[in-house]
């Protein structure tokens, strides 16, 4: 049995995909939400129009603790509290983070937070260029499954792959989680560029310089450069910075247009920009794009001011 904790769009989509191979338990935080999904066989709040296969059992309350992997599909800023509250049920099993970001309190990524909170668990991360609806519809998707333990990584790759969900294995969990976290920051910036009407050329420049920053911080934190060039880095960056399906991109567009954004929508890149900037400064690294995005989301700068700040930087070699 596969256990997925978190009944948002991505957790539900993974449940739908993995139910092709066998029973899946989908844990929802709110019993009212769980009851609605059980009765309607659909997650109308987060993934409307997608039927839940009969192999999916929706629960809430206590987290079951049978042996086997547990997928943690919840917002990054909620992960630490969840791990602390349920560490008894989560102990001594593979825990696969399915969230992207950096924890504001600790500055850690998902696997670092798992290792700190549940030291006897085996941390892993599932990340890469994907939208929940594509996965639920069975559209071809490739992701990175990163785990520092090679045996557990191979097992997870086998268990979590489906005919339409192809997983590539990596041992560089730090690089994989940084790619998934930092691309959201750059996506906010790209959305702001397009929302402000600054054009495709400006977006391409921001993506490229943003990718250089992603690699700079990843190297400073011990990640492998080839990881950032793969699905969890460049692949996810390309998708998130060019599609209105991305919440981070849409949020950036709203900033660029000077419009309000739906506060109920999770935008991981907003918190990650602040956390990443803190880590970069501690390492003595320059990350001007990240700094500009952090200032945008905090309201310290408007888009025009952020652009002026970036363009006024000293000329340099690439």
Q: DSSP letters of 52-105?
A: PPTTEEEE-SSPP--SS-EEE-S-HHHHHHHHHHTHHHHTTSEEEE---S--TT
Q: What is the dihedral of CA 128, 269, 293, 176, to 10 degrees?
A: -30
* Cα 210 off chain centre by: 17
Neighbouring-strand partners of residue 122: 94
- Is the backbone of residue 92 left (phi > 0), alpha (psi -120 to 50) or beta? left
What are the residues whose beta carbons fall under 8 Å from the beta carbon of 32, sequence distance 6 or more?
A: none
Q: Does the annotation mark 316 as catalytic?
A: no
Give me the catalytic one of 183, 203, 216, 279.
Answer: 183
Best CA proximity match to 16, nearest among 136, 165, 139: 136
What are the residues whose beta carbons fall under 8 Å from the beta carbon of 121, sequence distance 6 or more?
A: 90, 91, 92, 93, 94, 95, 114, 115
Residue that has been written with the tokens 């880095």 in this structure: 233
How many CA atoms within 13 Å lie on the side-chain side of 97?
36
List the catalytic residues: 183
């Amino acid at each position: 049995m596969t256990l997925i904790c978190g009944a948002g769009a991505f957790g539900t989509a993974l449940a739908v995909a993995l139910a092709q191979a066998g029973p899946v338990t989908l844990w929802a935080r709110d019993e009212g939400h769980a009851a609605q999904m059980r009765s309607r066989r659909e997650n109308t709040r987060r993934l409307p129009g997608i039927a839940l296969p009969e192999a999916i059992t929706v629960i809430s309350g206590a987290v079951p603790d049978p042996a086997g992997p547990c997928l943690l599909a919840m917002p990054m800023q909620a992960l630490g509290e969840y791990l602390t509250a349920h560490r008894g049920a989560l102990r001594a099993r593979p825990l696969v983070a399915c969230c992207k970001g950096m924890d504001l309190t600790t500055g850690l990524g998902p696997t670092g937070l798992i290792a700190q909170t549940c030291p006897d668990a085996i941390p892993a991360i599932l990340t890469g260029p994907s939208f929940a609806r594509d996965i639920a519809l069975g559209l071809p998707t490739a992701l990175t499954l990163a785990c520092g333990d090679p045996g557990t990584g191979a097992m997870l790759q086998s268990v979590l792959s489906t005919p339409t969900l192809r997983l590539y294995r990596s041992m560089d969990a730090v690089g994989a989680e940084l790619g998934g976290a930092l691309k959201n920051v750059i996506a906010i910036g790209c959305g702001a560029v397009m929302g402000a009407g600054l054009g495709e050329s400006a977006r391409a420049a921001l993506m490229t310089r943003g990718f250089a920053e992603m690699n700079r911080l990843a190297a400073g934190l011990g990640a492998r450069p080839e990881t950032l060039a793969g699905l969890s880095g460049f692949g996810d960056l390309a998708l998130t910075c060019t599609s209105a399906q991305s919440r981070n991109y849409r949020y950036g567009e709203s900033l660029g247009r000077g419009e309000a954004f739906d506060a109920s929508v999770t935008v991981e890149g907003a918190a990650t920009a602040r956390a990443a900037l803190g880590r970069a400064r501690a390492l003595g690294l320059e990350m001007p794009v990240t700094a500009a995005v952090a200032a945008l989301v905090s309201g310290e700068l408007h888009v025009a001011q952020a652009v002026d700040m970036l363009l006024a930087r000293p000329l340099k070699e690439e």
